[in-house]
Structure 1
Amino acid sequence: MDPGGLELISFGGQGQIYKWEHQGKHYVIKAVLNDESVFRRLNQMRESIERLAKGLGQRIPEGILKRAFPVGRGWVDNPEELGFDKSDQMTVIVYNWIDGEPLDSYLYSQLCSEPPLSSVRVKLAKQVLELLAFLEKAGIANYDMFPDNFVVDPLGQVYIIDMEGAGLFDPNTRTWVWTPVALGKNFPGYCKPPEFDAVDEDLKVFSYRWIGASLVFHILFGVSPFAFMQRIDLKALLELYDYADKGAIAWPPYGAEKAQYVNPRLDPAKFRTLIRSSCGVGSRGVCPLEMLAFLTFISGFDKPAHRPSFEFARLILSEVLAL
């Protein structure tokens, strides 16, 4: 592979990311410090997904299959040509290329005029939840579910594009086969789960559900106390301070204890009314208290074990929003 034929896209958390054209097709190339465990982790996750699909008699969702796992691998003979030290041992991971737009920019460029809970937003959120539910059933816990780790193609299909840091969890033994790389770390721009301040590592098992719910919530409403990860601007900060002044969130934005909980399992009609009534209220069409309540899906979400699975969250949204 000629380094001159690589187009640098970005600097990832573990290395550099390039676009590569080969025999008329485009691929994503990740050059990372040599670590065989990355491939073992991804292979075991792929095997878990394949077993699940076979057991369910279903196909693996295209949004997972096409981009989440490598299609090739290699190594870097001359790392200095890519800006690394000559002594660095570099591994190359090859993925399929997806023509599309990162979800973070898509939410603002394509959906900025869409009102909260519009049919377009609901359809997009449904896709994301279906992907997350499938991964969770396979025992995969992804703590890196930020909008820039998803791509939306021109037809509106959503793809997960970064799984190297995900964990593989055994629900029978309640132990990690592969511990998530991001487990226990802070997430810039997204409200961190309250248990991240605790000492007990086991409390963090269901933290990925908080992060996934935050993502779905962001898609459905188009605004979030956590959106400043991609919007470090005056308008975003003023919104956050406005929410804090109203007592809806704290600064830094926790605020979960101030949400008015409604349990959709016990009172779906009241929950539906709450969500519908939240539209048209507030500076951007949504009342922060109702937004935080919606994020929870069930009461008591501050307790990790009480957070619903992504499959249950999908069913709840199907009931409330008539998907």
Structure 2
Amino acid sequence: MLKAGERVCDYKIIGLLGQGGFSQIYKAYDPDGTLVILKFPDVSLLGDQATYERFRREVAIGQKLDHPAIPRAISFMEGPDSVFLVMEYVEGPSLRTYISEKAPLPLSEGLSLADQLADAIDYMHSHGVCHRDLKPENIIVGPDGRIHILDFGSALLEGSRRVTWRWASNAFGTPDYMAPEQIQGKRGDVRTDVYALGMIVYEMLTGTLPFEGDNALAVMNQHLTGVPVSPRRHEPSIPAGVEAVILKSIRRDPDERYRSASAFRKDLDNYADLDLSQFPSDPEAIAGGGVLTTRQIWVRTILVFVGFLLLAALIILVAYLMHHH
């Protein structure tokens, strides 16, 4: 771990900002004295081609996008002992901290943040980028109330080749915002980001999530088989139109969700004028696929468990091979 005052390729470290399963993020000064973020891969992943490609892709995406809610990726640095990203510094707490301290948010504030998120996500999608790891931890709320979306390490860039086993790491992150198709190991698309957007808006307005469990496996199983608790059960003051939009965005079947963030945004902006008869009122219909039999639930639970074990074995095997390389 780097200490305050240390220098890396002419960048002066101020301190550690955050640490995840795959990277460490530091606040630093660039050679001109400007505040920047330095993002390093975890030391155990150094030399791994997938990690290298992930970082290269994150810079390519950051340099391709030009939107006030998306911090710029400045450069990809290769030092003598490591590679790291240099990114624009954004001041403010994470949306996770913001939700923990303030949720449930007032409707006007929650809808304002949701509108900003949907706008930024729609911009990404229009430029061929799917984020695939949207969650409050990856969103900053600036002092002016503007949001900033971080961490494009799991993103798909249209036309780019698939990075081997990259999807696997997603299942070891926070499963609360993962769409069912991601849990099943699929690449995901625009509708996958719409699902995460719906989950985030649900949490901002209620202070909780529609699916809960004692562990990651239990939560993943809920995404695959459970019926989401209606937001108004948690917070009765939420308008029926807002609830209908949220529940449509988190349907189990991607084909039944909004097909774009702009469609989600349009309905949310006009929630008071929506024809609610066009939205399913039956919670089982909202979940998608009707009532599951006990046998179906057991089969899906077993499939999730087996998939989780295979995923863990794959990660262990890769770590073993890297260690003995």
Displacement after TM superposition at 1:306 (Å): 3.0
Displacement after TM superposition at 1:318 (Å): 1.2
Secondary structure (helix, strand or coil) at the match of 1:182 reads helix
Match of 1:112 in 2: 103
Structure 1 contact 151–160 (Cα < 8 Å) conserved: yes
Alignment of 1:103-182 (within 5 A): 103-109=95-101, 111-112=102-103, 114-115=105-106, 118-169=107-158, 177-178=161-162, 181-182=166-167
* 1:63 alignment partner AA: A
2:76 maps to which of 50, 73, 76? 73
Match of 1:303 in 2: 253
* 1:8 alignment partner AA: L
* 1:181 alignment partner AA: R
Alignment of 1:196-207 (within 5 A): 196=182, 198=184, 201=186, 204-205=188-189, 206-207=191-192
**Larger displacement relative to structure 2 (218-227 or 146-155):** 218-227
Secondary structure (helix, strand or coil) at the match of 1:28 reads strand
Cα distance change on mapping 1:147 and 1:304 into 2, 3 Å: same
2:92 is the alignment partner of 1:100 = yes
C-alpha distance in 2, partners of 1:250/1:227? 6
Match of 1:53 in 2: none
Match of 1:84 in 2: none
Q: What 5-or-longer segments of structure 1 have no aligned partner?
A: 50-59, 80-89, 171-175, 238-248, 261-273
Bigger share in helix = 2
Calculate percent identity across the aligned residue pairs.
19
C-alpha distance in 2, partners of 1:15/1:259? 32
Q: What 5-or-longer segments of structure 2 have no aligned partner?
A: 1-5, 274-325
Q: Aligned Cα RMSD in Å? A: 3.9
Displacement after TM superposition at 1:127 (Å): 0.6
2:8 is the alignment partner of 1:5 = no
Structure with more contact order per residue of length (Cα contacts < 8 Å, sep ≥ 6): 1
C-alpha distance in 2, partners of 1:181/1:96? 25
Structure 1 contact 29–93 (Cα < 8 Å) conserved: yes
Secondary structure (helix, strand or coil) at the match of 1:63 reads coil
Structure 1 contact 106–152 (Cα < 8 Å) conserved: yes
C-alpha distance in 2, partners of 1:318/1:140? 24
Report the TM-score when normalising by structure 2. Answer: 0.63
1:195 maps to which of 139, 159, 181? 181
Secondary structure (helix, strand or coil) at the match of 1:74 reads strand
CA deviation profile, 1:53-84 (whole Å, cap 9, x unmatched): xxxxxxx32111xx2x421232343x5xxxxx
Report the TM-score when normalising by structure 1. Answer: 0.63
Displacement after TM superposition at 1:194 (Å): 3.2
Alignment of 1:275-294 (within 5 A): 278=232, 282=234, 284-285=235-236, 294=245
C-alpha distance in 2, partners of 1:255/1:76? 43
C-alpha distance in 1, partners of 2:224/2:54? 36
Match of 1:30 in 2: 39
C-alpha distance in 2, partners of 1:72/1:20? 14
2:207 is the alignment partner of 1:222 = yes
Displacement after TM superposition at 1:154 (Å): 0.6
Displacement after TM superposition at 1:161 (Å): 1.6
C-alpha distance in 2, partners of 1:191/1:93? 26
C-alpha distance in 1, partners of 2:248/2:124? 19
